[in-house]
Homo-oligomer: A and B are copies of this chain.
Amino acid sequence: MLSNSRAAYRAHNHQRCIDAAMSRAHERCAERRARLTPIREAVLALIWQSHRPLGAYAIADKLPPVNGKKVQAPSIYRAIDFLLELGLIHRLPSQNSYIGCPFPGNEHSDVFMVCRGCGSAAEVSADALNQIIADTSQRSGFLLESQCVELTGLCLACRDGELP
């Protein structure tokens, strides 16, 4: 089971997460002959600033201005589309936000655990879960093409700290 939940929810050297993500991004773009332009790279880096998903306008607000002008929404969305396409980020539809993918390129279901305490999201790729989803689809005669699984709750850290 691939998972970044340990990293996402605990104190860790996050710079390593960032470095790894950016380096994977460069690799992947090279493979696909796609261009990781400055805007795209900046957006990806921003998304990886933490394990909390970011909305498009939050990204726009945090991006450093170019020539004194804020980068506008369409540019942000174009960068997001590009990164989604390459599988470098994922969208969390329930909150209109975007999160870096810790293992792009690997076959993996898109399963996220989103903590309502700290806001962090961890991606988990569980084969067993995948398998059940495939079985369930098949038994219903449904040709599965993609999926989106968002689990909401409290991560270990927030569970200890904040008694509900």
Interface string of A1-18 (1 = CB under 8 A from B): 101010001000000000
Of all chain B residues, the one with the shortest Cβ separation from A130 is: B132
**In the docked arrangement, what's the CA distance between A141 and B159, Å?**
9
Whether A150 is near chain B, meaning CB under 8 Å from some CB there, is yes
Q: Is the CB of A142 within 8 A of B153?
A: yes
Taking a contact as CB atoms closer than 8 A, the residue among B129, B133, B142, B151 that contacts A142 in the complex is B151
Question: Assuming A116-B145, A140-B3, is B126 touching A151 (CB within 8 A)?
Answer: no
Binding site for B on A (CB under 8 A): 1, 3, 5, 9, 93-95, 111, 113, 115-116, 122, 124, 126, 128-129, 132-133, 135-137, 139-156, 159
